[in-house]
């Protein structure tokens, strides 16, 4: 009985919405300031994760002939990528 009264009081929609808004607002204030060591470290990690993601996508898109070249007695086959970051 007591639990029902308490739950009705605290789960009142007119109280839940403002509490959620305040929680979201305060969580937005937790981001580090630009230029701080924490911010720089997070940005470096984010860039590194993006590079890994792009590299994995490039590896997934490699054509079969690039990995297993045709074999011929008359011709020489070799894949070439130069210095490009994408294959």
- In tens, the pLDDT along 2-28 reads 566 655 666 666 677 777 778 777 776
Phi, then psi, of 65 in degrees rounded to 5: -65, -25
- Specify the higher pLDDT residue, 65 or 9: 65
> Where are the domains positioned within the chain?
1-30, 34-81
pLDDT at 44: 92
Token pair for 41:
């470290």
Query: Could you report the per-residue pLDDT of 33-55, keeping only the tens digit for each?
Result: 777 888 889 899 999 999 999 88
**pLDDT confidence bin for 87, thresholds 50/70/90:** low
Residues in the chain, overall count: 87
The model's pTM is 0.43
- Burial state string for 58-84 with b = 16 or more CB within 10 A and e = fewer than 16: eeeeeeeeeeeeeeeeeeeeeeeeeee
């Amino acid at each position: 009985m007591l639990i029902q009264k308490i739950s009705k009081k605290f789960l009142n929609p007119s109280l839940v919405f403002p509490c959620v808004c305040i929680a979201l607002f305060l969580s937005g204030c937790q981001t580090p300031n630009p230029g701080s060591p924490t911010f720089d470290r997070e940005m470096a990690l984010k860039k590194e994760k993006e590079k890994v993601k792009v590299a994995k996508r490039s590896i997934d898109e490699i054509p079969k002939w690039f990995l297993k070249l045709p074999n011929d007695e008359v011709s020489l086959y070799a894949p070439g990528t130069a210095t490009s970051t994408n294959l």
